[in-house]
Amino acid sequence: MSKWFPDGDTLDAWEDAATDAAIDPASVHLFVATAGSGGEYGAMYYAPGMWAFPGDDSFDFSDGLRVRLRELIDERVVVVSSGLTSDRRLLVMRHEAEHVGQDTHNPFIGQVGMRLYDLFSRAFYGAVPHERDADAAATLMCKSRGLAATQADLAGDNRKLYDAEWARPDRGSLPLRLLAYSLLNPSDFDTACRSDSSWTRVEPDDLLERLVPGASKVRAAVGDDYVRPTLDAIASEHTEESWAELPREEKNAAGDAIRQRLVRVENTVVEQIRPLLADHR
């Protein structure tokens, strides 16, 4: 048996998380791996078309795991970190199960979502719409199961699993919200589509049109209209040096404030572009 194969407790946790997300647990290939030098990811969903390309150090992909993921590039895969507590494991799996559910609803959600991560600093990736929904799903499960979060949980990098402030996940509205978010920085989104070595290169209009019919018309009409409000939203008074000196609690609060401003701009874009899509409903 491969060392990546999950044990019974891990399989039970995945079935629990997948059932809560209303997806078939068997629709996903599940593997367990040690966290890599890239940090403690907890878990990661590799959507169809995505794999652990060379340079991806989120997990230890030795002993053939990277090759196996490449073989499964057309299928859905979740890799979960070994050594997690049972509660943490369940919540990271619920987060990733929500991503699977999103792609089940619309197979282009993940394709667009991954290209949105680098529109701004990676520190703000939690503001991307499909990430907010996945964190909200984990938080709802945490509260419904009465799972207790420690102070370390609530202050750490994965604190949104336990206490996300975002609204309940809504897969139906997610494509429109992703389109709106892409309009916050259309130039960098275009670059991510045409140049990202970790994904098949695509034309941004073609990809977004598959996500939301009429998206190319919206992009042509809007252009760079939302870039300035977005830059204002993510502006910070801190230099790299002053940011490094902030206590963790203050960093968390400042990062939350920026993400919330980004979401407010996104909400404005959603309402303003909705009428432009009326002919395509």
Q: The CATH number of the domain where 99 resides is what?
A: 3.30.2010
* Listed residue (130, 189, 182, 138) closest to 160, CA to CA: 138
* Listed residue (7, 141, 154, 181) closest to 80, CA to CA: 7
Q: Which of 44, 78, 105 is the last residue of a domain?
A: 105
d(CA 218, CA 168): 27
How far separated are the first and last CA of the chain, in Å rounded?
A: 50
Place of tokens 């999950």: 6
Per-residue pLDDT of the chain (281 residues; tens, 9 = 90+): 357 889 999 999 999 999 999 999 999 999 999 987 766 678 999 988 888 888 888 898 888 899 999 999 999 999 999 989 999 999 999 999 999 999 999 999 999 998 998 787 667 888 999 999 999 999 999 999 999 888 888 888 889 999 999 999 999 999 999 999 999 999 999 999 998 666 778 999 999 999 999 999 999 999 999 999 999 998 888 888 887 888 888 888 888 998 999 999 999 999 999 999 986 65
193 lies in the same domain as 223:
yes
Q: Do the Cβ atoms of 100 and 78 come closer than 8 Å?
A: yes
Please report, for residues 44, 85, 256, the alpha-carbon distance to residue 100 in angstroms, rounded to integers and kept in the order given.
11, 22, 26
d(CA 218, CA 164): 31
Domain of residue 4: give its range.
1-105
19 lies in the same domain as 86:
yes
d(CA 147, CA 173): 29
135 lies in the same domain as 44:
no
153 lies in the same domain as 251:
yes
202 lies in the same domain as 123:
yes
Task: Please give the pLDDT value at position 2.
Answer: 59
Residue 115's Cβ-side half-sphere holds a number of Cα atoms within 13 Å equal to 31
Task: Please give the pLDDT value at position 1.
Answer: 39
101 lies in the same domain as 112:
no
Bridge partners for 30 per DSSP: 78
Q: Which letter does DSSP use for residue 173 in this model?
A: T
168 lies in the same domain as 120:
yes
Q: Do the Cβ atoms of 204 and 233 come closer than 8 Å?
A: no
Q: Which of 47, 76, 105 is the last residue of a domain?
A: 105
Q: Which of 41, 74, 105 is the last residue of a domain?
A: 105
Q: Do the Cβ atoms of 47 and 111 come closer than 8 Å?
A: yes
16 lies in the same domain as 92:
yes
Bridge partners for 209 per DSSP: none
25 lies in the same domain as 150:
no
133 lies in the same domain as 53:
no
118 lies in the same domain as 39:
no
Tokens for 147, please give them: 């799972």
Please report, for residues 63, 137, 263, the alpha-carbon distance to residue 160 in angstroms, rounded to integers and kept in the order given.
32, 10, 15
Q: What angle separates helix 204-211 from helix 186-195, to the nearest 10 degrees?
A: 100
94 lies in the same domain as 165:
no
Task: Domain count for the chain, please give it.
Answer: 2
